[in-house]
Amino acid sequence: MQTLAIVAKRDKPEAVALAAQIRERYPHLSVLADRTLAHELGWPRVDDRELVTRADLMVVLGGDGTLIYAARLLGGRGVPILGVNLGSLGFMTEVPVEELYPMLEQVLVGRFQVDSRMKLTCRLLRGGRVLIEDEVLNDVVINKGALARIADHETSIDGVPITTYKSDGVILATPTGSTAYSLSAGGPIVHPSVDCTVLSPICSHALTQRSIVVPADRTIRVTLRSETADTYLTIDGQTGHGLQGGDCIEVERSPNRVNLVRNPKVAYFSILRQKLHWGER
């Protein structure tokens, strides 16, 4: 590995200082930074495309939100991501700060394993025309805004009608995103090695409408069948788009994946026990 790309949590002095230390520690490597971090450090700034093209390893200094941003930055490139936890939860950023350098040394010589995480492709169609197409690591959320009105979400899987959710919204989550908003909405926890999509209504009007786990190779379509003001499509919590009655959101498995460097000292269920406080009273 010759080039490290560092993506840091914004407004986090600890992340800025750590990025500077990494560059000083490895003078033989080309160490690049995302535009905001480069500006704070006074480093030469490169655009996103160059950063992604040149990177052999992406180092994330922050929390899960920062890691999701880095994954979106990479697009379809399978560059491994080393997540260093400077956030509060850290389901995906598995490496604590004190273990950064021993872990990084192993990665630089090729002694590491990755978790290959499934992504979704999300398309917003209006009048049969694709307005937006994006890739998703965590979740796709259709949700209402300020007005407390339920909406009708006509849902089908591979063209077969499932139901019309009368609800505040609908979440379509990857296994990675199953421990995020989907979990708060009553969805299941899915191990990240299981490729599937979790379909969860948000505050459904019918108590019998529960989360569904759908095989990853199926196409899910949700059509907004009511004219509801302030309804939005949110992708990975990063971008938002206003919706209109008749809009269709189509979700299927992406051909691209995200490769997260594993911390060999931490197992997935150990993370769940720690973050969700299982076994505590």
Instruction: Give the Cα separation of 198 and 192 in Å (integer).
Output: 12
Our answer to whether residue 64 is catalytic in this structure is yes
Identify each DSSP E strand in the chain by its residue range.
Answer: 3-8, 30-33, 57-62, 81-85, 114-126, 129-136, 139-144, 151-157, 160-167, 169-173, 196-202, 212-215, 220-224, 231-235, 239-242, 248-261
**Residue in 194, 210, 199 with CA at minimum distance from that of residue 249:** 199
**Local structure of 19: helix, strand or coil:** helix
Instruction: Give the Cα separation of 263 and 261 in Å (integer).
Output: 7
C-alpha of 53 from chain center: 20
The sign one gets for the Cα dihedral 50, 52, 53, 56 is: positive
Q: Find the catalytic residue in 48, 56, 64, 195.
A: 64
The answer to whether the CB of 175 falls within 8 A of the CB of 190 is yes
Positions marked catalytic: 64
